[in-house]
Chain A
Amino acid sequence: DTAVSQTPKYLVTQMGNDKSIKCEQNLGHDTMYWYKQDSKKFLKIMFSYNNKELIINETVPNRFSPKSPDKAHLNLHINSLELGDSAVYFCASSQIQGAVGYTFGSGTRLTVV
């Protein structure tokens, strides 16, 4: 019954590795997002994506790339992980781009060592 699910919940990896975080929503929403939350709880939009358009926050390094195999999935792939990538990453979805609020996943805590 989980509306927006992300896996894994925790991810510990070494610098330089490549990793992916998966996100799936069963709400039939047409837009999905990735957010990064830092240690001070500040939320930063990374990407928004619907079946027509990918909007990238230009401050996000190109080591981060979203991949959407279909409307219900938006995975986040990260190349060459760095210490500063350690954060909690949240996936979210909405029916219309932001107009009625988002539904969030429970987050993936990434720790780069």
Chain B
Amino acid sequence: GDSVTQMEGPVTLSEEAFLTINCTYTATGYPSLFWYVQYPGEGLQLLLKATKADDKGSNKGFEATYRKETTSFHLEKGSVQVSDSAVYFCALSGDTGNQFYFGTGTSLTVIP
């Protein structure tokens, strides 16, 4: 069945460091891919998405490219800030639209 695997955390970075959070997926057909962010004490918010191969989703300085050849959707940011400290979830929606799968979440802490 469809699934998402993301790197385990926690991840701790210094401010202005480069961030990569790996996400790979298994799916039949042509899924849509998402990154959600959960700030402390809040619900999940959609950060970015990509609906087809080679699409790049971007928002708030974060980027992720839908790589069908490597079945990956890695999240990157060139220079993290303390305010980026949160839990990040990779997610997949099957091409039939009736299943949604979340990764296990990666906790990021950015220190000044």
**Residues of chain A at the chain B interface (Cβ within 8 Å):** 4, 40-43, 45, 90, 92, 94, 96-107
- Say how far B49's CB is from chain A's closest CB, in angstroms: 6
Nearest chain B residue, comparing its CB with the CB of A9: B41
Question: Chain B contacts of A97 at CB under 8 A?
Answer: 97-100
What separation, in Å, do the CA atoms of A107 and B42 have in the docked complex? 7
- Say how far A98's CB is from chain B's closest CB, in angstroms: 4
Among B12-20, B59-67, B87-95, the stretch that binds chain A is B87-95
User: Would B104 and A42 count as touching, CB distance under 8 A?
Assistant: yes
User: Would A102 and B32 count as touching, CB distance under 8 A?
Assistant: no
Q: A-B pairs with CB below 8 Å: how many?
A: 53
Task: Provide 28 A-B residue pairs closer than 8 Å at the C-beta atoms, listed in order of the A residue.
Answer: A40-B105, A41-B104, A42-B105, A43-B89, A43-B105, A45-B100, A90-B43, A92-B44, A96-B97, A97-B97, A97-B100, A98-B94, A98-B97, A98-B98, A98-B99, A99-B97, A100-B32, A100-B93, A101-B32, A101-B46, A101-B49, A101-B91, A101-B93, A102-B44, A103-B46, A104-B36, A106-B42, A106-B43
Where chain A touches its partner, the secondary structure class is loop
User: Would A99 and B32 count as touching, CB distance under 8 A?
Assistant: yes
User: Would B93 and A43 count as touching, CB distance under 8 A?
Assistant: no
Question: Chain B contacts of A98 at CB under 8 A?
Answer: 93-94, 97-100
Known pairs A41-B104, A104-B44, A104-B45; A99 contacts B93 (CB<8 A): yes
- Say how far B33's CB is from chain A's closest CB, in angstroms: 10
Which residues between 4 and 46 of chain B lie within 8 Å of chain A, taking CB atoms?
32, 34, 36, 38, 42-46
Nearest chain A residue, comparing its CB with the CB of B92: A98
